[in-house]
Structures are given as C-alpha cells and as structure tokens.
Amino acid sequence: MENREQLYIIKIGGNIIDDEHRLNAFLKSLSVLAGKKILVHGGGKLATKMAADLNIPQQMVDGRRITDAETLKVITMVYAGYINKNIVAQLQCNGTNAIGLTGADGNLIMAHKRTSSSIDYGYVGDVDMVNDIMIHDMLSRGLTLVIAPVTHDGRGQLLNTNADTIARSVATSLAQRYAVTLIYSFEKPGVLLDVEDENSVIPRLNPSLYAKYREEQKIFAGMIPKIDNAFAAISAGVQNVIIGKAEELDKLTSGCGGTSITHE
C-alpha cells in the first residue's frame, strides 16, 4: 500500500471563487504543492448573479435550487466556461499544466437525472461512473485536472452536479491506484464546534463524535452533506480527508490544520 503515489484532490468552494485576488492566491499555493493534483470547483455566487442579470427566476425548494433548462444554461456558461477557463489560464501562468473538464469531456463522469417522488429537481445529476482510467492517463502525462461541477448522462444531456459529491466520487474511484488525500476547502478553518468562533476547529472527527455533535446540534445545515461525503470517502478507501481553509492549503496538506475525518 505504501508505494502508491500520492494524489491530492482538492475541492474549492465558498466565497473564495468570487474573489479574484483570494482565488489567485489559492491557485498559487496549489501550484507550489508538489505531486499529482485534481481541483474540483464550485460556482460561487456568480451563477446566481448571472441568472438575475438575465432575468431567469431561481426556484428554490427546501433550500435547494431547481435547475430548469435556463438555469442549466447559466451554470454551464459560468461554471464550465468562465470560472473553469479562468482557473486554467491562471494555473498555466503559474507553470502548472492544467486542463479544464466537465463530466462530458472524455466521458469523465457519467450521471443520471435525479428522480424523486416528491420534488422535480430539474437537470440535476447523481454520479454513476467516474472514468478513472482517463483521469489516471491524464495525471500520468503531467496534467492537473480542473473539474467543473457539470456531468452528462451519455444521451446528450448535461447535468448540474454537486461539487462536493464529484470530489468524493473522483477520490473513491482513484483510491485503489493512488494514496488519495481529499481536501474540502472553503472559507472556514475547519469544522467548527461553535460557528461563531474560528478558534473552535474540531481537529479530528470520527463517526461517534460526529453523531454526538449532530445530536447536540453543534454541527448542522450546510456542513452535514459535506461531512457525509467526507465519511463516505474515508469508508471507500480514501487515505486522508481534511476539511479546512482554502488559504491554508499548505497547512492542510501537511496535516497541521483543518479537521481530519477519521474512521475511529
């Protein structure tokens, strides 16, 4: 096991995507990180702003955005076009040979349209398959993959797909071949015991602690799907899973910061 090569899979999300200077600083720290890397990015608030500018009404059900055809168009433009290509150009500037991809490109990630008895989420995809051979092949050629949260169903339909889930799916698909470190990075320094206190980072989170904090309602809302993805990754053989601040990437990769998700 020990001679598997290290692979970093880093999800970047939160407000940092919308802030060019902070994003570029993060991309510099990504470029200096040695070894094989995959970046999965969310979309920040730009898609919401673009939809508003284009007078496309945003329908929310239970706090989730419904992806109708016009919203999917905006997401494809903003995530797969504007954000993805600007990240790639910036990484190229840093000397990192990046390639920007959606799930449709090279049939990288196949998904199916989510069906629910109660809610029609629209063009939202749940991941079925990650093309780990294609990813391994590109990594072997020295490329850094930059993945936008858009997949396809193999029948010509693009699908809006949660970036945390994409990061987890890609990480688990490569967990046999590589010693994968999966990092969920955002604007907070880790999972906080008190959301108001940035010094309350939980250094290690195992299933029993997680259950306890959920019961005590110390961990709630938006953090839950992220942590669920993190535990699913660890259970599926991903070596390290860390949640922490994008601007402290060096600390997260060296094990000196963030919240480590552990089996026990």
Question: Which of 224, 111, 225 has the alpha carbon at shortest distance from 160?
Answer: 111
Cα 200 to its chain centre, rounded Å, is 23
The answer to whether 129 contacts a copy of itself (rule: CB under 8 A) is no
Using CB under 8 A as the binding rule, whether residue 10 contacts a copy of itself is answered as no
- Residue 49 as a binder of a copy of itself (CB under 8 A): the answer is no
Helix (H) or strand (E) holding 80: none
Residue type present at position 195: V
Stretch that binds a copy of itself, among 95-103, 185-193, 203-211, 226-234 (CB under 8 A): 95-103
Task: Determine the interface stretch with a copy of itself among 80-88, 171-179, 190-198, 229-237 (rule: CB under 8 A).
Answer: 80-88
Radius of gyration of the chain (CA): 18
Q: What residues from 139 to 158 belong to the interface with a copy of itself (CB under 8 A)?
A: 141, 143, 150, 152, 154-158
Q: Closest Cα partner for 148 from 94, 187, 104? A: 104
Query: In this structure, what is the dihedral angle of CA atoms 115, 120, 122, 124, given to the nearest 10 degrees?
Result: -40
Our finding on whether 209 is near a copy of itself (CB under 8 A) is no
- Decide: is 85 part of the binding site for a copy of itself (CB under 8 A): yes
16 binds a copy of itself per the rule CB under 8 A: no
| 93 touching a copy of itself, by CB under 8 A | yes
Neighbouring-strand partners of residue 152: 110, 158
Structure tokens at 199: 């010094």
Name the residues that contact a copy of itself, by CB under 8 A: 24, 50, 53-54, 73, 76-82, 84-86, 88-90, 92-93, 97-102, 104-107, 137, 141, 143, 150, 152, 154-158
